[in-house]
Amino acid sequence: MKILMVSNYYAPENFSITPLCEAMVALGHDVTVITGYPQYGFPKRKPNDTLIYEETMNGVHLVRLKTHSPVGGFLHRLWHYASFLSASKRYLKHHPGSYDLALAMSLSPLMSISSVLSFAKKYAIPVGLYCVDLWPESLVATGLLKKHSLLYRIINRWSRTLYTRFDRIWVGSPSYRAYLKDHHHLNNVASKTLYQPVLPISTDVISSHDRYFQLVYTGHVGRGHTIIPILQCIADHALPIQLHIVGHGEGIATLKHLQQQKGWSHLRIHSPVPSQKLGPLIAQADAMFVTLDLPTVVGETIPHKLLQAFQLQKPVLAYVRGDGAYHLQQSKGGWLMSPGATKEDIKNQLVKMLETSEELRKTMGQYNKDYFEKELNGLIYLPEVLEELTSFKKSVKGEA
């Protein structure tokens, strides 16, 4: 089949959209992705004055559109989202409609993928949404929108309208299904959870032995990522832990300031890199650190970083609740802190982690790997997902 995907992010940025599209190619499908240029420290693939650039990456045909850079704060991020929506609508308006299916992945915000709906309607093809972000709840959780305000009600109604227009919606975490059904009253949400595909990371590197416990965090650093209390606890009790952070976000500047102010030698901040280059650092990690502390149902998701750690066969120190906490408890492969944990709770879990033998940590990592393959490998449902969406083709084109 010929499949059109719309997402404002793609490799080398570390989002699960990339392995998802590559998996569709591996199944024999022809996949085209409408996306933007890499952001957040990654080099441009073409000069800034190139409005449209096409390339093929691991069998996936990419159409990169020029957008405003999201770097520089909230207004720049908003401008970036709006510019991608505008650019994708302009491009798709004249793009040939020779596709069997259209898909979108809602990373953030929801408006950035609305262009695919107009395209699917124009050419009468089934359209599906892979939902890994919730609107307007994400705005409420990050403090950008007050619940029940006039603006909230407007965005809520608009979001519901967009969600309703998709033939089928697949969620990346079970708690999202309940929200879409109960809050937005949708009847187009699939019953199966399509957990986010993990990124390709090779850890075929011999770990080095160090007097410090190597704890690694990868991904976005912002509101909802409880990192400072962990760092403060390590410093207050002189715990032999070194925390490596590889990522981007508004929280990086705060961490760098605190590191300089407090002399935190146990913190190592690394620039963002494509997932393929994370291998050497992760190979030397004694454990991965995962944190998500956001209010509302958004904070109940299973973080992609947790899935990644499970697949990499690593034990996990996690500060999560909801679906993430449930799966870590089921896997028996880590140390769990619930949001709202006291300083003593944090210290106790860090000490418990340090006192876990290397042999037991390897066993815990194997537990996570086995659990991932049995319960969380969403790609095993991908053929079924595409087949389900294809079934809408008959009714759309009057073939049934």
Write phi, then psi, for 59 (nearest 5 degrees): 85, -10
Angle at 145 between CA 139 and CA 147, to 5 degrees: 100
128 contacts 105 by C-beta, under 8 angstroms:
no
Residues 6+ apart with CB under 8 A from 32: 2, 3, 4, 5, 60, 61, 62, 63, 99
- 348: Cβ contacts below 8 Å, ≥ 6 apart: none
Q: Kindly list the structural domains of the chain, giving each domain's residue range(s) and its CATH number in brackets, ordered by start.
A: 2-195+378-397 (3.40.50.2000), 213-376 (3.40.50.2000)
Global confidence as pTM = 0.85
pLDDT tens digits along 158-185: 999 999 999 999 999 999 999 999 999 9
- Give start and end residues of each alpha helix (H) in the chain: 17-26, 74-93, 115-123, 137-141, 150-164, 174-182, 228-236, 251-262, 279-283, 304-311, 322-331, 343-355, 358-371, 382-390, 392-397
Decide: 385 and 105 in contact? Cβ < 8 Å.
no
Sorted by sequence, the CB contacts under 8 Å of residue 147 that are 6+ apart come out as 140
**Identity of residue 396:** V
Closest CA to 189 of 146, 272, 130: 130
* pLDDT attached to residue 295: 77
Q: What is the pLDDT at residue 399?
A: 44
At 72-88, the pLDDT tens digits run 766 777 787 888 889 99
Beta-carbon count within 10 A of 61 CB? 16
Provide the pLDDT for residue 392.
84
The two tokens of residue 161 are 């309208």
Amino acid 163: pLDDT:
93
Cα-flanking dihedrals φ and ψ of residue 305, to 5°? Answer: -65, -30
Question: How far apart are the C-alpha atoms of 2 and 371, rounded to whole Å?
Answer: 33
Task: Confirm if 256 and 227 have CB atoms less than 8 A apart.
Answer: no
Task: Tell me whether the omega of the peptide bond preceding residue 12 falls within 30 degrees of 0, making it cis.
Answer: yes
Task: Give yes or no for a contact between 266 and 244, defined as CB atoms under 8 angstroms apart.
Answer: no
| Tokens found for residue 301 | 């998701």
Residues across the chain: 400
Burial of 75 (0-12, 13-18, 19+ CB in 10 A): exposed
Q: How far apart are CA 382 and CA 371, in angstroms?
A: 19
Q: Reduced to 3 states, what is the DSSP secondary structure of residue 239?
A: coil
For the chain, list residues with pLDDT below 70. Answer: 40-49, 73-74, 108-109, 202-210, 223-224, 393-400
- Using the structure block, give the residue that is written with the tokens 């650019």: 87
